[in-house]
Amino acid sequence: MGGHTGGLSGSTTVTVTLSDVNDNPPRFPQSSYQFSVVETAPPGSAVGRLRAHDPDEGENALLAYSILDGGDGGEAFAIHTDMLGQDGIITLKKPLDFESRHSYTFRVEATNTQIDPQYIRKGPFKDVATVRVTVEDADEPPVFSRPEYHLAVYENSPPGTLVGKVMAVDLDTPSSVIR
């Protein structure tokens, strides 16, 4: 015994490994985000990235992103989680048209994919941010009112003779004059 004459003692090394538990919800560093995309971007194009931060580690820090109902972006945009990190990547679902719509506003939710029931009382393991996407105008060529025109002129007509008229509309600014 230690402290007694003739006592025996021993020592050893003990390694304690701490495992992370999912006790922290994800949090967006800001409440709103702004992105822009040109109207000619094809479906599938990346519009922007969001990242919610979760101080947990490993699988406890994995997040899933979704677009919430109630906004006007669900029909035009999708979001998926980048498996290399904690990013939510917003992509186009359909072609956009600046002349019919200049912007979209919707809400994105980041949720923990692994929820530990013993910590559920700490609140929802998710966070929400508002996203606004501005559609940028692209210069589009004028469109003729008919697919083809048939015009005729006499061979002996003097210079400057009116041969006919064609009509085209500039879709970017319908009231502009086309020359």
For the stretch 29-42, pLDDT in tens is 999 999 999 999 99
Q: What are phi and psi of 121, to 5 degrees?
A: -65, -15
CA distance 110 to 52: 7
For residue 6, pLDDT over 70 is answered with no
| Predicted pLDDT of residue 5 | 66
| Position 178 confidence tier, pLDDT thresholds 50, 70, 90 | low
Phi, psi of 84 (to 5 degrees): -85, -10
> Following CA atoms 120, 52, 106, 67 in sequence, which dihedral angle do they give, to the nearest 10 degrees?
-60
Sign of the dihedral through C-alpha 40, 98, 52, 69: negative
Mean pLDDT, residues 6-20? 83
Determine the pLDDT at residue 176. Answer: 65
For the cut 60, the answer to whether the pLDDT of residue 1 exceeds it is no
Say what the pTM is: 0.74
pLDDT in tens, 43-92: 999 999 999 999 988 888 889 999 998 888 889 999 999 987 689 999 99
Integer Cα distance of 52 and 129 in angstroms? 9
- pLDDT class for 22, splitting at 50, 70, 90? confident
